[in-house]
Amino acid sequence: MLTAVLKEKNRLELEDVAIPEPKPDEVLVRVRACGFCATDYKAIRGLRSNVQFPLVPGHEPSGVVAAIGSAVQHLKEGDAVIIQPSGFCGHCDDCRVGKTHYCVHAYTTGGDGPEDVRPGSFAEYVVTGANTVLHKPKNLSFQAACQTEPLSGAWKGVIQMSEMKVGDDVVVIGTGSIGMYCLMVAKAAGAGRLIAIDVSDYALETAGKLGATHLVNPGKEDALQRLKQILPKGPDLVVEAAGPIEAVRLMVKLLRRGTRWNIFGITTHDTFELDGGLMHFLEARMDASFGTNPTAMQQALRLMERGLVDPEQVISHRIALSDIHQAVDIMGTPKRHKIIIEP
């Protein structure tokens, strides 16, 4: 099978490797579409250090079951499916209370986080545990379905962790693809005023089409002053989906009584300061969110299946696996949203 293998920083090579065989509790999936995530790009460009080479990136796949292990009963060859890249045992204490992304035996197929990183889906086939595989709704394309994992992360952060309510005024800092998903989830959940902040007018234009009521470009205006004009009493929820520490610092400046934050985008170990007394008397609440779990995956599927969220709207490029180096180059440019790799 054709596979993209990251041998070292900036050395992604296309290779012909043997198709893996599933163990009794595993499934072999013929990949039809796989989203290109920023964490994949950071691994390829050497922007994150927790990468063990060789690595097959790609952790947002959809496809068709090609083979099943002897113990698998809920799937059969030919089923159209979606893979949750966060593998879990299902038996440890964290798994039993629904926090499978905390699993002590966690693994990931092509992603980030656990020490156990298995070959991902920038390949024609991928093997994973059967308990991470969901059936694809018939009314979803493979290109939409492969975005279930990042959309589920947005649902988990905005709804499950930060408990957004109908009518909340929501600020999303950073409207890359994950910020777009957060916007769409907030819109579907009944956000009041929905403010998108980004330094890219290209991204902000799409955010407006997705339902943002106000667009703010910090590169062209004082974002804090503009937000105070839009929301004199401050926001109910701020989602940091950008990554740079400057986005987190802006989030901190948007405090009011009862403000909720979600530190969603930053993964680097930068620091920022808090006024303890101010936090105390404002009763501000800080949340964070990483990864996904079966509940979030199922909720993301419900949003898409019922037409409340259409991830096709954030696809800017569809690129063949054989042209993946073109996709890597495009990932480094400002005029792109979600790139889909099609093996």
Mind listing the pLDDT tens digit for each residue in 226-247? 999 999 999 999 999 998 999 9
pLDDT in the model for residue 45: 96
DSSP state of 55: B
Class of the CATH domain delimited by 151-288: alpha beta
- Nearest Cα residue to 301 out of 66, 83, 109: 83
Domain ranges of the chain: 2-146+310-342, 151-288
pLDDT interval class at 171 (50, 70, 90)? very high
Task: Find the DSSP H helices in 254-323.
Answer: 276-282, 294-305
Task: Find the DSSP H helices in the chain.
Answer: 38-44, 93-96, 142-145, 148-155, 177-188, 201-209, 223-230, 245-253, 276-282, 294-305, 324-331
CATH architecture assigned to 2-146+310-342: Alpha-Beta Complex (3.90)
pTM of the model: 0.96
Partnered with residue 65 across adjacent β-strands are 29
* Residue pLDDT, tens place only, 268-292: 889 999 999 999 999 999 999 999 9
Asked whether 259 and 278 are in contact (CB, 8 A), the reply is: no
208 burial level (CB within 10 Å; 0-12, 13-18, 19+): middle
Residue 266 has pLDDT above 90, yes or no: no
The rounded distance, in Å, linking the Cα atoms of 298 and 184 is 16
38 burial level (CB within 10 Å; 0-12, 13-18, 19+): middle
